């Protein structure tokens, strides 16, 4: 299955099956800051906000990490997972420089299957190979409470809707 989003108004194909509210989220294994393979199961029993984006080195992606970091400190039993293709070194450098410690960065470095499994694989355009911008909120049992595939990659996600799903 594929969806279409835009980048600067130009259509971009997105491949895979984007999770919908009520569905069980696909399991995944991504790379943590210590380069360890980290499965979704390692966050079992916690609610999860998956903040998915192309690269920490773009203004909108950086803003989303900052905003979710700020919100995360007040969320009970919830972890914010910031997922991008950036190497763990770059993710850590950014969060260290910004003083962000309420989010967990995960890289698709060895987890390329995540992109299609979560329906965020950019298949065309200049960012092909990276993730589309999306937010998926999971409950303690990995059931999807909220999902948003952001229609214009340069736009921020709907933070209020994502956080409201946890309320």
| Mode of pairing for the β-strands spanning 37-39 and 2-7 | unpaired
CA 134 – CA 121 distance, rounded (Å): 11
Of the listed 25, 61, 130, 150, which one is catalytic?
61
Residue 61 falls in the annotated catalytic set? yes
For residue 19, the SS3 value is coil
CA-CA distances (angstroms) from residue 32 to 105, 109, 129? 6, 10, 20
Bridge partners of 14, per DSSP, are 3, 122
Catalytic residues: 61
């Amino acid at each position: 299955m594929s969806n279409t989003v835009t980048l600067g108004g130009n259509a971009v194909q997105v491949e895979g099956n984007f999770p919908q509210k009520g569905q069980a989220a696909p399991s995944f294994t991504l790379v943590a800051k210590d380069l360890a393979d980290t499965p979704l199961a390692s966050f079992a029993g916690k609610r999860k906000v998956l903040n998915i984006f192309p690269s920490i080195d773009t203004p909108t992606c950086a803003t989303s990490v900052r905003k979710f970091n700020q919100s995360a400190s007040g969320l009970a039993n919830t972890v914010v997972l910031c997922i991008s293709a950036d190497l763990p070194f770059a993710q850590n450098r950014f969060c260290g420089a910004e003083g962000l410690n309420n989010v967990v960065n995960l890289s698709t470095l060895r987890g390329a299957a995540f992109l299609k499994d979560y329906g965020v694989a950019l298949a065309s355009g200049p960012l092909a190979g990276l993730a589309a911008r999306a937010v998926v909120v999971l409950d303690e049992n990995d059931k999807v409470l909220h999902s948003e595939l952001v229609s214009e990659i340069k736009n921020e996600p709907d933070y209020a809707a994502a956080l409201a799903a946890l309320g």
